Amino acid sequence: MSGVRPFPRKTTAAIAAVGIFGLCAARKASLRNETFAESPKPCGGPRGLERRGGPGGRMGFHTMRLESSIQVNDNTKRLRFQLPDPASNAGLSLTSFILTFHKPRDAWFPVIRPYTPINDSDEPGYIELLVKKYPNGRASGYLHSLQPGDTLNIRGPMPSYKWKANEFEHVNLIAGGAGITPMYQLIQGMLNNPDDRSKIKLIFGVNTEKDLVMKKELDAFEQKFPDRLKVVYRVSDPVEGSQFAKGRVTKELLEKELLGPKDSKTTKVFLCGPPAMEAAIFGNKGWISSQKGALGELGYAADRIHKF
């Protein structure tokens, strides 16, 4: 495709030099509630990166051109980027993410953030991101400013949780706000695989009804696979007469809705949401004090839970 090419050598070297710094920055940003919807990795990045798949047929740095930008609500956009090779797919595995790069004029280092693509990984030619714009969000603000024809520098795809079909009989997904993106990637990949028979329960909590992004797609999957997918919604501040239950994702809700025996290796829980929500559900450990989360109180062992 004309006009889309790998990074210039100097740009690649510069980004590689700050790779570890950038991954640390991405994780810190998530703790500031800027990119909690994505998959921040520990400093140094994930292990075992495989040099296969990915835009252009291999993992590395790439430049993608924005094909379309669709406003989903007042602060969220769907951004569809063309791959360098329109005949190739993105090489996305279940589950994986990409890192986006841009360098503000007043910054010493590039802004690096993780995002989870939401497109069908088998469809060739593009990657699609769902991006929520945060107040003072340097990455999300930049991505929202892009117009069709503009380009974005990325690295990826990079593996996150390595999903194996039928490894678990019962799969529980707990998402808060834009944390739906890795959950939707997993739902899509599982249900589109005719050999995968795992049953899925998604518990999706948001502040307002406009934040129920991907609901149309979730409804379609639920109707197509009624014996495999069930979605439970909770809205903190619904409009009067809303069809959605008012409330948050609480211990009581989890106890009522989660699938499968909590003490069995056939059950797995995935979690992605704002830091406060994750702390309440999963708990956290600090130097001074620790907080036990709702899942722990319900009897779920830490190895039964994965946080994106």
| Confidence (pLDDT) at 10 | 46
* pTM of this prediction exceeds 0.85: no
What is the reported pLDDT for 38? 34
| Mean pLDDT of all residues belonging to the chain | 83
Kindly indicate the confidence band of residue 59, based on its pLDDT and cuts at 50, 70 and 90. Answer: low
User: pLDDT band at residue 291, thresholds of 50, 70 and 90?
Assistant: confident
Give the mean pLDDT of 167-189: 96
Predicted confidence (pLDDT) at residue 5 exceeds the cutoff of 60: no
Q: Is the predicted pLDDT of residue 20 greater than 50, yes or no?
A: no
Evaluate if residue 6 carries a pLDDT over 50: no
Q: Which two tokens stand for residue 245?
A: 């239950």
| Residue 300 known to bind ligand | no
- Ordered by start, the domain boundaries in the chain are 60-159, 170-307
Going by C-beta distance under 8 Å and a sequence separation of 6 or more, which residues neighbour residue 266?
168, 169, 170, 260
Longest dimension (CA), the chain: 58
Whether residue 124 is preceded by a cis peptide bond, meaning omega within 30 degrees of 0, is no
Fold of 170-307: Rossmann fold (3.40.50)
Known binding residue 113? Answer is yes
Residue in the block written with tokens 């890192």: 99
Residue 184 known to bind ligand = no
Instruction: Give residue 90's pLDDT.
Output: 75
Instruction: Between 134 and 43, name the one with better pLDDT.
Output: 134
Q: At 150, is the pLDDT very low, low, confident or very high (cuts 50, 70, 90)? A: very high
Lowest-confidence pick of 114-123, 244-253, 266-275:
114-123
Q: If you average pLDDT over residues 206-217, what whole number do you get? A: 95
99 annotated ligand-binding residue: no
CA distances in angstroms from 304 to 228, 260, 264, listed in the order given: 20, 12, 8
Taking residues 94-122, report their average pLDDT.
91
Q: Is 114 annotated as a binding residue?
A: yes
Ligand-binding site membership of 258 (annotated): no
CA 259 to chain centre: 22
More confident residue, 89 or 196: 196
Quick one: average pLDDT of 160-189? 96
CATH number of 60-159: 2.40.30.10
pLDDT category of residue 288 using cuts at 50, 70 and 90: low
Question: Do the annotations mark residue 115 as ligand-binding?
Answer: yes
Of the pLDDT bands very low, low, confident and very high (cuts 50, 70, 90), residue 123 is confident
